[in-house]
Amino acid sequence: MKLRLATAAFALAAGTAFAASHGGDNPMVGGAPMFADKTIVENAVNSADHTTLVAAVQAAGLVETLQGEGPFTVFAPTNAAFAKLPAGTVETLLKPENKDQLVKILTCHVVAANALAADINRMVADDGGMHPVKTVGGCEFTAMIEGEAIRIKDGQGNVATVEIADVKQSNGVIHVIDTVLLPAN
C-alpha cells in the first residue's frame, strides 16, 4: 500500500512539474496548449486563431527573429482581427513586393521587453491612465485600461483589446488582440 501511495504521489508531482514547465499555467490559444518552454513562433504555429499571423510572419521573413532570445512582448492579432481589415489588404501585404510594409506592420506588434499584464497595468496607472508603447517597428502606440481590459490605441486611432493576456513563452509573452495595430503612416 505504501509503495502504491508513493508511486501515485511521485506520478502526481512529476505531472505537475511537467505541466508547469510546459505551460500548464498558460491559457489555451486557438484550441492549442501554449508551452512556456517554447518560443513565440513554436507556439503560434499551433494556434488555429493565428494562421494569418503565422503566414504573415513567414512572408515577412521574421520567423528567425521571433525565435530569437528576446525578450519580446507580442500583441498577436487573431484571424478575425485580420479579417476586419479592408477586403484584399492581407493578400496585398503578403505579396513579395510589399514585404517592407508587412515587416513594418508586424514589428509594430512587438515590444523589446517581457511585459506581463500586471506590468502594463502598473505602467498605465503610473502614467495617469495612458502609457506610450514604443515598438520594435518604430511605432508608438498608447496602452490604456478600460474596466479590466488592456487596450492598445494604434497610430491611426484604431483600438485593440487584449482578449487573452500573459501567454508565457521561452522568449517573452504573447497578448492575443482583436484588432491589427497599424502605424501612423
DSSP state at residue 120: H
**Tens digit of pLDDT for each residue in 2-24?**
433 333 333 333 333 333 344 45
| CA 99/CA 112 separation, integer angstroms | 21
- Lowest-confidence pick of 27-41, 103-117, 152-166: 27-41
User: What DSSP character marks residue 43?
Assistant: H
Are 114 and 167 within 8 A, CB to CB? no
**Segments making up each domain of the chain, as ranges:** 2-177
What pLDDT, in 10s, does the model give residues 80-104? 999 999 999 999 999 999 999 999 9
Residues 176 and 78: beta-carbon distance below 8 Å: yes
**Domain spanning 2-177: which CATH class is it, in words?**
mainly beta
Average pLDDT for residues 137-158, to the nearest whole number?
95
> What is the reported pLDDT for 185?
75
Give the span between the Cα atoms of 63 and 171, in whole angstroms. Answer: 13
pTM of the full predicted structure?
Answer: 0.85
Cross-strand pairs, 130: 144
Instruction: For residue range 23-38, list pLDDT tens digits in order.
Output: 458 888 998 999 999 9
What percentage of the chain carries pLDDT values higher than 90? 78
Tens-digit pLDDT profile for residues 41-54: 999 999 999 999 99
Average per-residue pLDDT for the chain: 87
For 9, the grid coordinates are 504521489
**Confidence band, pLDDT 50/70/90 cuts, at residue 177:** very high
Gap between the Cα atoms of 44 and 142, Å rounded: 25
